[in-house]
Amino acid sequence: MAGIKVHGVPISTTTMRVLTALYEKGLDFELIPVDMKGGAHKQEPLISLNPFGQIPVLIDGDLTLFESRAVTEYIAEEYNDKGEKLLCQGCKKLKAITKVWLQVEGQQFDPIASKLAFERVFKGMLGMTTDPAAVEDLEAKLVKVLDIYEARLSKSPFLAGDCFTLADLHHLPIIYYLMGTDSKKLFQSRPKVSEWIKKITARPAWVKVLHLQKQ
């Protein structure tokens, strides 16, 4: 097996997404820390690996990838036979529905939830002040998405159907951060969403990623 390398940091939501997929698959990898404060992600050698100057970057043999959701899909497909399944096996219908919910996370949930996490969590880390009006506006938008999730999860235990997939996994980092803030009420007040969060955050791979943050 080629040695997989990940350039990233354990507190980064996008790095966490990729590390979770690697742990789910039981793959060995080396996490190469990036000096974000020093702007290493915007300079050589990383800027040549990802011209958008963002983490994570994954290197697997002669393949260099960025964009966390492209990276996790690669891991899920290339290493389909290893570790936990991250894509529904079997029929094309399930595969297609998984693609729908992968896009839902990327297009409907993340644009709102990541801005909310920025306001509630990351602004503080950067010495900036949370904007209460922005929080209120973002929460009002997020509840509309979560109502759809509540209805969906009343029909199936996971977003794409009966099995845990990348569509669930991609939500983990942002939900984790929001659950540590007052925004947690939006999730806790929805029983099916709550139950889903408990299930996906209990997975051993996710627990290992959180453990990395403590090191």
Partner 1 sequence: MAMKVYGDGMSACVARVLLCLHEKETEFELVPVDLFACHHKLPSFLSMNPFGQVPVLQDDDLTLFESRAITAYIADKHKDKGTDLTRHADAKETAIVKLWSEVESHHFNPAVSAVIHQLIVVPLQGEKSPDAAIVEENLEKLGKVLDVYEERLGKTKYLAGDSYTLADLHHVPYIYYFMKTSHAGLVNDRPNVKAWWEDLCSRPAFLKVSPGLTIAPVTN
Instruction: Using CB under 8 A, list all residues that contact partner 1.
Output: 51-52, 62-63, 65-67, 69-70, 73-74, 77-78, 92-93, 95-97, 99-100, 102-104, 106-108, 111, 148, 151-152
C-alpha span between 209 and 77 (Å, rounded):
21
**Residue in 63, 98, 62 with CA at minimum distance from that of residue 170:** 98
Nearer to partner 1, 20 or 72 (CB): 72
Q: How far is the CB of 94 from partner 1 (least distance, A)?
A: 10
Q: How far is the CB of 204 from partner 1 (least distance, A)?
A: 26
Q: How far is the CB of 181 from partner 1 (least distance, A)?
A: 23
Pairing of strands 4-7, 57-60: antiparallel
Nearer to partner 1, 46 or 102 (CB): 102
> 114: which strand partners?
none
Q: How far is the CB of 211 from partner 1 (least distance, A)?
A: 28
Nearer to partner 1, 30 or 78 (CB): 78
Nearer to partner 1, 143 or 212 (CB): 143
Q: Which residues of 90-106 are buried (b: 16+ CB within 10 A; e: fewer)?
A: eeeebeebbbebbebbe
Cα dist from 144 to 87, 103, 138, 192, 194, whole Å: 27, 17, 10, 15, 16
Q: How far is the CB of 215 from partner 1 (least distance, A)?
A: 29
Q: How far is the CB of 60 from partner 1 (least distance, A)?
A: 9
DSSP, res 63? E
Residue 64 sits at φ, ψ, to 5 deg, of -115, 125
Nearer to partner 1, 71 or 200 (CB): 71
C-alpha span between 17 and 60 (Å, rounded):
17
Nearer to partner 1, 82 or 93 (CB): 93
Give me the count of residues in the chain.
215
